[in-house]
Structure 1
Amino acid sequence: MDLKVLTYIIVGVTFAVYIGIAFWARAASTGEFYVAGKGVNPIANGMATAADWMSAASFISMAGLIAFGGYGTSVFLMGWTGGYVLLAMLLAPYLRKFGKFTVPEFIGERYYSKTARIVAVLCLIIASITYVIGQMKGIGVAFSRFLEMSYEWGLYVGMGVVFIYAVLGGMKGITYTQIAQYCVLIFAYTIPAIFISLNLTGMPIPQIGLGSEMTDGSGTYLLDKLDLVVTELGFKEYSTQVMGSKLNMFVYTLSLMIGTAGLPHVIIRFFTVPKVADARSSAGWALVFIAILYTTAPAVGAMARLNLLETIQVGPVGEETGNLVYDERPQWFKNWETTGLLQFEDKNGDGRIQYYNDKNETFATKAESFGWKGNEMVKVDKDIMVLANPEIAGLPNWVIALVVAGGLAAALSTAAGLLLAISSAISHDLLKGVFWTGISEQRELLAGRISMAGAIVLAGYFGLHPPDFAAGTVAIAFGLAASSIFPVLMMGIFNKKVNKTGAIWGMIAGIGVTMAYVFQHKGIFFVPGTAFLGDLEPHWFLGISPNAFGAVGALVNFGVAILVSKVTAEPPEHIQHLVEDIRVPRSVGEAPAH
């Protein structure tokens, strides 16, 4: 069956399932809209949390990063998974025990201040909107290729689907939709990986195939072969390549870890289970479900890079047969050219594709002797690698169609969770918590749906002008959450002496310094039409990249909050007792009433 028809069928069926679940699980109360009535089974919640967590950045972009960044991009694997463990151990059970719907609500009560609650809402919205932009990039990439739409129309369709099942169902609908989306995305990710691992190494388990011998009879291991291929083209050795300095890699990992632990859309999932013990259990199950994809990603990235290079570089470097004739390029190449995410420019007019690292001075001199006049693959978007990989490897059409359904499931599931976090922050924390405390439940529910619809429109607008590839954009969002939300949550649970003034100025200082650093080095990317300046590495503070700066912002947050608290009045005694009470285990596991 034709690939386009198969894609329409598979994607259409999955979308019908999502929308059907939304109607079946339509929220009838604020409790169902915000926390699914606190009645979700821990295993089901673990699966929904995994889907919420594994966004377009994980499904589409992370393996693309690994494909081009090699060993150094392990910061994403370590940071995101390590941060989830941090969240499960240090924050989630205590926040669930506190018994409130949202993170700003906890901050407002713990720091006995509506101002603190408002600042927390603003930080949450800034981080979440930035995160949603990354999901919108993934949706646009997927639709632009496989449904033969422009990037813009891909966004519009995705916005419409999210609007239907997120606005109608709230957390209840989102939870059960995300269970279905997890099943789709994990099959879509692992099945192509199994096929490709079998083709290259004869090993059906991709995690093992990454370290196995090639099936070409050479006796060469896959990573050794990849190292040889990339260095022949002037790129850095794949298995030793790093992201800047060791300090930058450490800070990058730390920023992703604490950013993970400060993301409200994941934290809110632990309010959907009946008991504190269930929150711990669902965290463990989520980690199991997440590990399936995260342990597969390095193999997918490495194999995708090898397939790409061997397709374009069809012979020894420098020989006439060493480059692919452009007019004889494979169909997958033509397909992705139409999206604008893969672009070729014949700089020397020989009709062949020269793909090499023209920034490597030694190899550039060598390339000049071959008559090459620069890298002719002028654009290879990192975010296409997972989606293009099955096509490059020549897998069946049904596998290719399944991958696009998985990519869309990953992007839509996380987008829905983020939009709910934004919606609850506006309707529950700002409207009911601050400006209109006497609002009825029905009006609050309506306000929640209206604010979510507005957030969808805003996120889609910004998604048309993303500041970076999907995972890079998400890394910025994690840095913003790391510098603002995580420190105030940690101090709120483990330091009873931090007061409202310290918390407020800590959040402002942390997110302020992080945003200033990102804007300085990446340009004002939120304004359409402005220039994207890129990463100006020579001007980085201690060699720390903008995407990693959240950890520095978190240190500023901690420092300012503690210093300000020392020179201002201590928190009231009942607040200090409240902090102690949060950390004391309860046999029943129910949250105390506040």
Structure 2
Amino acid sequence: MDVQTWTYIIVGFTFALYIGIAIWSRAGSTKEFYVAGGGVSPLANGMATAADWMSAASFISMAGLISFMGYDGAVYLMGWTGGYVLLALLLAPYLRKFGKFTVPDFVGDRYYSQTARQVAVVCALFVSFTYVAGQMRGVGVVFSRFLEVSVEWGVAIGMLIVFFYATLGGMKGITYTQVAQYCVLIFAFMVPAIFISIMMTDNPIPQLGFGGTLEDGTYLLDKLDNLHQELGFAAYTSGSKTMIDVFFITAALMVGTAGLPHVIVRFFTVARVKDARISAGYALVFIAILYTTAPAIAAFARTNLIETVRDAEYASVPEWFSKWETTGLIQFEDKNGDGQIRYVKDASINELTIDKDIMVLANPEIANLPNWVIALVAAGGLAAALSTAAGLLLVISASVSHDFIKKMVNPNISEQGELWAARGSAAVAVLIAGYFGINPPGFVAEVVAFAFGLAASSFFPAIILGIFSKRMNKQGAICGMISGLLFTLGYIIYFKFGEVLFGLSPEAVAPANWWFGISPEGIGTLGMLINFAVSFIVMSLTPPPPAHVQDLVENIRYPRGAGAASQH
């Protein structure tokens, strides 16, 4: 069977599985809708957390970034992995002890302020919509190539599937759907990696094949370095980013992970604080399987790509090249009219443009793997994108229905009314997410990096100070969140979209004008520092929190033996 037939079969089967799970586990109460009833097992929650956390950026885009950036791409690997460790150790047990549905719920109660809750809701919406844009972009990339439909139709199909199981099942449906999605995405990621590792290095373990030798006896990375330098690129194993930018991007991704509301809410779905810690450990193991494999896939794909397209005759390119070309994600311009593909760093003579987001998806095709493997990777990419999109949509709907409508607008709303409000807000969020998927502001990992920066500069200081500082008050937290978010958002908009929105010249938004050499992807770290500084300054000038709030903080800090936390 051809690739498209296999794709219809495998993707169709996985979609039917997700919908079936959603029907089986549909939510009948707000507790089931927001936190899956609070009774998910640690193992299942660990798998669901891994699927929720490993988005299209992890599955599709991260290996593509490393493939093109080489050593510099490792900042994404380090930042996202370190961030999860930070989340598991510093935040998850304490937030679980607090026992609230959402991050704005924690912020509102900890800082005894509706204003603080409103700011947290705005931050959650900013972060979640920015993040979900990257997921829908990933859905569009997969559908446009493998189902050979337009990006618009691809995004529409993805929206429909997510809407169905996210609004019907809520967190309960999403949790068990994400368990299935983790199994699909990790199998889809590892199978081609093992295939290609055996083909190239005769080693079935990709992590070892990454440092292994090829048939001619040369090391894989040495060969890749030579190929890069022959084409005018920097050596694959050398870095070009400044040390400060590497540090700031890594830190933004780390603390941004720890502030992501859709990941934090996962730890409210288990019965006990102990279970939150155990599920965090399970999730770290499940995440490590993909993250330790990504650099190997990046190196395999880059080597095969260069050897396939370098100085090739355009008239005789493989079928996969033509298929991706129809999506617009590969573009060839025969500048000298000789019919050969010239792929070099020098933009004036380079004839080939390749979108970073295709590398993982095209990797099995470039390596001539069986058609069913190619289709499996498509299903894995969709599983990664849809699992995270569903979690984000739940955060958006909970922020609107629980934190805004129930807590601020209509405290007397019935449980059934709140449930319908949650589903309605999820429907609106799906439509907005679909728009961003059709008109994305960048490639997947770049868009997601912006979301992490916004989370780092807004949520992280408020959460960490809310847990570990009894003296931090509402005035400090509110001013800190607003200042961090506005600074980071303004910096990203200026340098990434200044030409389009404000008519700025390319020179004005060039890297030479970045503050201290910090890129927009890393500016969230500086925003976080501003948040901390403003919070402490305002705190020192305003009264301390009430005694009962300080007692609450003391109680949160000692989760050991707490047992089941109460839900409100």
Same fold (TM over 0.5): yes
Quickly say closer, same or farther: Cα 1:524–1:349, change in 2 above 3 A.
same
1:375 aligns with 2:338: no
Matched residue type, 2:333: E
Q: Which whole-Å deviations, capped at 9, do the CAs of 1:211-232 have from their partners, x for residues lacking one?
A: 00102xx210000000011101
Q: 2:301 aligns with which of 295, 299, 304?
A: 304
1:290 aligns with 2:287: yes
Aligned residue number for residue 210 of structure 2: 210
* 1:268-347 mapped onto 2 (5 Å cutoff): 268-313=265-310, 323-347=311-335
Q: Which whole-Å deviations, capped at 9, do the CAs of 1:447-494 have from their partners, x for residues lacking one?
A: 000000100001111222211110000000000000000110000001
Aligned residue number for residue 370 of structure 1: none
Q: Given that residues 511 and 553 in structure 1 are in contact (C-alpha distance below 8 angstroms), is that contact kept between their aligned partners in structure 2?
A: yes
Find the aligned partners of 1:563 and 1:127 in 2 and give their Cα distance: 25
Matched residue type, 1:276: V
Q: CA deviation at 1:536?
A: 1.9
* 1:214-229 mapped onto 2 (5 Å cutoff): 214-215=214-215, 218-229=216-227
Matched residue type, 1:311: T
Structure 2 residue runs without a partner (length 5+):
none
Q: Which whole-Å deviations, capped at 9, do the CAs of 1:316-360 have from their partners, x for residues lacking one?
A: xxxxxxx1111011111001000011000000011110000105x
Q: CA deviation at 1:524?
A: 5.9
Q: Which whole-Å deviations, capped at 9, do the CAs of 1:86-138 have from their partners, x for residues lacking one?
A: 11111110000001111000100100000000000000100110000000110
Aligned residue number for residue 35 of structure 1: 35
* 1:5-404 mapped onto 2 (5 Å cutoff): 5-215=5-215, 218-242=216-240, 244-313=241-310, 323-358=311-346, 374-377=349-352, 379-404=353-378
Matched residue type, 2:303: L
Q: CA deviation at 1:591?
A: 2.3
Q: Secondary structure at the match of 1:118?
A: helix
Find the aligned partners of 2:393 and 2:378 in 1 and give their Cα distance: 22
Aligned residue number for residue 540 of structure 1: 514
1:423 aligns with 2:397: yes
Q: 2:528 aligns with which of 523, 548, 554?
A: 554
Q: Given that residues 51 and 182 in structure 1 are in contact (C-alpha distance below 8 angstroms), is that contact kept between their aligned partners in structure 2?
A: yes
Q: Secondary structure at the match of 2:19?
A: helix
Aligned residue number for residue 495 of structure 1: 469
Quickly say closer, same or farther: Cα 1:425–1:513, change in 2 above 3 A.
same
Q: Which whole-Å deviations, capped at 9, do the CAs of 1:39-68 have from their partners, x for residues lacking one?
A: 100001000000000000000000000100
Q: Secondary structure at the match of 1:571?
A: coil
Q: Which whole-Å deviations, capped at 9, do the CAs of 1:385-426 have from their partners, x for residues lacking one?
A: 000010000000000000000000000000000000111011
Q: Which whole-Å deviations, capped at 9, do the CAs of 1:183-242 have from their partners, x for residues lacking one?
A: 000000000001111111111100000000102xx2100000000111011000001134
Q: Given that residues 97 and 562 in structure 2 are in contact (C-alpha distance below 8 angstroms), is that contact kept between their aligned partners in structure 1?
A: no
1:582 aligns with 2:547: no
Q: Given that residues 483 and 553 in structure 1 are in contact (C-alpha distance below 8 angstroms), is that contact kept between their aligned partners in structure 2?
A: yes
Find the aligned partners of 1:103 and 1:249 in 2 and give their Cα distance: 29
Q: Given that residues 158 and 386 in structure 2 are in contact (C-alpha distance below 8 angstroms), is that contact kept between their aligned partners in structure 1?
A: yes
Matched residue type, 1:335: K
Q: Given that residues 523 and 531 in structure 1 are in contact (C-alpha distance below 8 angstroms), is that contact kept between their aligned partners in structure 2?
A: no
Q: CA deviation at 1:587?
A: 2.0
Matched residue type, 1:309: I
Q: Secondary structure at the match of 2:542?
A: coil
The two structures, once aligned, show a CA RMSD in angstroms of 1.6
Q: Given that residues 466 and 525 in structure 1 are in contact (C-alpha distance below 8 angstroms), is that contact kept between their aligned partners in structure 2?
A: no
Aligned residue number for residue 448 of structure 2: 474
Matched residue type, 1:332: W
Find the aligned partners of 1:26 and 1:530 in 2 and give their Cα distance: 49
Quickly say closer, same or farther: Cα 1:530–1:178, change in 2 above 3 A.
farther
Q: Secondary structure at the match of 1:343?
A: strand
Q: Secondary structure at the match of 2:521?
A: helix
Quickly say closer, same or farther: Cα 1:395–1:453, change in 2 above 3 A.
same
* 1:557-568 mapped onto 2 (5 Å cutoff): 557-568=531-542
Matched residue type, 1:289: F
Find the aligned partners of 1:78 and 1:266 in 2 and give their Cα distance: 18
Q: 2:497 aligns with which of 523, 528, 533?
A: 523
Q: CA deviation at 1:585?
A: 3.4
Find the aligned partners of 2:429 and 2:498 in 1 and give their Cα distance: 20
Q: Secondary structure at the match of 1:136?
A: helix
Quickly say closer, same or farther: Cα 1:525–1:49, change in 2 above 3 A.
farther
Matched residue type, 2:67: A
Q: Given that residues 523 and 533 in structure 1 are in contact (C-alpha distance below 8 angstroms), is that contact kept between their aligned partners in structure 2?
A: no
Q: 1:451 aligns with which of 421, 425, 449?
A: 425
Q: Given that residues 313 and 339 in structure 2 are in contact (C-alpha distance below 8 angstroms), is that contact kept between their aligned partners in structure 1?
A: yes
Find the aligned partners of 1:100 and 1:167 in 2 and give their Cα distance: 20
Q: Given that residues 467 and 532 in structure 1 are in contact (C-alpha distance below 8 angstroms), is that contact kept between their aligned partners in structure 2?
A: no
Q: CA deviation at 1:592?
A: 5.6
Q: Given that residues 426 and 451 in structure 1 are in contact (C-alpha distance below 8 angstroms), is that contact kept between their aligned partners in structure 2?
A: yes
Quickly say closer, same or farther: Cα 1:342–1:455, change in 2 above 3 A.
same
Find the aligned partners of 2:435 and 2:540 in 1 and give their Cα distance: 43
Q: Secondary structure at the match of 1:241?
A: coil
Q: CA deviation at 1:532?
A: 11
Q: TM-score, normalised by structure 2?
A: 0.98
Find the aligned partners of 2:2 and 2:295 in 1 and give their Cα distance: 31
Matched residue type, 2:445: A
Find the aligned partners of 2:17 and 2:67 in 1 and give their Cα distance: 33
Find the aligned partners of 2:219 and 2:443 in 1 and give their Cα distance: 31
Q: Secondary structure at the match of 2:495?
A: helix
Find the aligned partners of 1:505 and 1:148 in 2 and give their Cα distance: 49
More deviation in 298-307 or 583-592? 583-592
Aligned residue number for residue 365 of structure 1: none
Quickly say closer, same or farther: Cα 1:332–1:533, change in 2 above 3 A.
farther
